[in-house]
């Protein structure tokens, strides 16, 4: 039997934030079981922890959504770092991910990590395509600062600013439009959409990836990091952002983002919720 833990990430209280399953020692699991285990949990991500390739590092971490393995994601990195801290590692860590080593600092309640991967701009979907995918009117998408942009720090998202908090609340996925976008922009993580509205003192955001069995994600650290890098590039200045996500689905999440030149640091809390044994 193999132990598992679950955490709620980007929250300091259970039943908020984004759920994560962590397998703290996956060495006994067969390769063909990993995706099936992730699908069984059906969280937006499950992580499998292995001994590091480089003995100077803390751990090697593989990340699976319900349908695929991904090289990088934010809330799994935060939650796994906290899980490792609970197990006695840290506080300074180096985690080996699919995008390469990531430096992290973690306690049993909070973590941060820094990525120095350069921002990639992959495509510029049209306002009409984004409006169709999210069941919005095109005039609800704000383009004064930037139009919709498909960008990546290791995981691609289409990022769009909305004109109001009401527009953000009104978003609903249109599966046919998501499929059309995915066909037009192959390799774009199933046309995942990260949309935000900028308030006076915080950013409010939502993320939809229904083609990856994630109708809506309560907290998406990798997309938040990409937004921070994008705004730093557009503004020509470093950013310090608080991003609220999950409010419209009853799982409020708080993500901290800080940019310094090319480096982007993601921070947040995580709390344990369950633990048990896999009987496979």
C-alpha dihedral, 91 to 96 to 100 to 103, nearest 10°: 0
Q: Please give the pLDDT value at position 187.
A: 74
- Is 45 annotated as catalytic? yes
Give 206-236 pLDDT, tens digit per residue: 999 999 989 999 999 999 999 999 999 999 9
Give every CB contact of residue 176 below 8 A, 6+ residues apart in sequence.
none
Residue 11 half-sphere exposure, CB side, CA atoms within 13 Å? 23
Q: Is the pLDDT of residue 122 over 80?
A: yes
Q: What is the distance between the alpha carbons of residues 19 and 31, in angstroms, rounded to a whole number?
A: 23
Q: What is the distance between the alpha carbons of residues 208 and 25, in angstroms, rounded to a whole number?
A: 30
| Distances from the Cα of 44 to the Cα of 69, 119, 210, 218, 221, angstroms | 11, 23, 11, 9, 12
Q: Please give the pLDDT value at position 76.
A: 97
Catalytic residue among 45, 96, 142, 161: 45
Decide: 142 and 161 in contact? Cβ < 8 Å: yes
Among the listed residues 186, 172, 58, 176, the one whose alpha carbon sits nearest the alpha carbon of residue 113: 58
Q: Which domains does the chain have, with CATH numbers?
A: 2-114+267-278 (3.10.310.10), 120-261 (3.10.310.10)
Q: Please give the pLDDT value at position 50.
A: 98
User: Can you read off the two tokens belonging to residue 201?
Assistant: 């003192």
Q: Is the pLDDT of residue 175 over 90?
A: yes
Q: In the predicted model, what is the mean pLDDT of the chain?
A: 96
**Burial of 139 per CB tally in 10 Å (0-12, 13-18, 19+):** exposed
Residue 175 half-sphere exposure, CB side, CA atoms within 13 Å? 6
Q: What is the distance between the alpha carbons of residues 165 and 2, in angstroms, rounded to a whole number?
A: 44
Give 232-265 pLDDT, tens digit per residue: 999 999 999 999 999 999 999 999 999 999 899 9
Q: Is the pLDDT of residue 188 over 80?
A: no
Q: Please give the pLDDT value at position 29.
A: 97
Q: Within a 10 A sphere around the Cβ of 224, how many other Cβ atoms?
A: 31
Q: What is the pTM of this model?
A: 0.94
């Amino acid at each position: 039997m193999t132990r598992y833990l679950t955490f709620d990430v980007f929250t300091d209280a259970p039943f908020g934030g984004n759920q994560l399953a962590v397998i703290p020692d996956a060495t006994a699991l067969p390769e063909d079981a990993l995706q099936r285990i992730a699908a069984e949990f059906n969280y937006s991500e499950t992580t499998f922890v292995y001994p590091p390739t480089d003995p100077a590092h803390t751990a090697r971490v593989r990340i699976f959504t319900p349908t695929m393995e991904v090289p990088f994601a934010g809330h799994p990195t935060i939650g796994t770092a906290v899980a490792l801290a609970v197990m006695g590692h840290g506080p300074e860590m180096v985690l080996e991910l699919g995008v390469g080593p990531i430096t992290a600092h973690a306690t049993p309640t909070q973590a941060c990590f820094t990525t120095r991967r350069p921002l990639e701009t992959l495509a510029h979907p049209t306002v009409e395509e984004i409006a169709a995918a999210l069941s919005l009117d095109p005039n609800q998408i704000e383009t004064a600062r930037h139009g919709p942009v498909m960008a990546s720090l290791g995981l691609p998202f289409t990022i769009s600013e909305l004109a109001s908090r009401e527009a953000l609340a009104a978003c609903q996925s249109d599966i046919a439009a998501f499929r059309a976008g995915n066909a037009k922009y192959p390799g774009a993580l199933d046309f995942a959409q990260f949309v935000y509205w900028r308030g006076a003192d915080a950013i409010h955001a939502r993320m939809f990836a229904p083609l990856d069995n994630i109708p809506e994600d309560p907290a998406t650290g990798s997309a938040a990091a990409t937004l921070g890098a994008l705004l730093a590039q557009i503004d020509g200045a470093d950013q310090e952002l608080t991003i609220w996500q999950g409010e419209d689905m009853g799982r409020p999440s708080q993500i901290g983002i800080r940019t310094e030149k090319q480096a982007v640091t993601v921070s947040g809390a995580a709390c344990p919720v369950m633990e048990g044994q896999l009987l496979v």
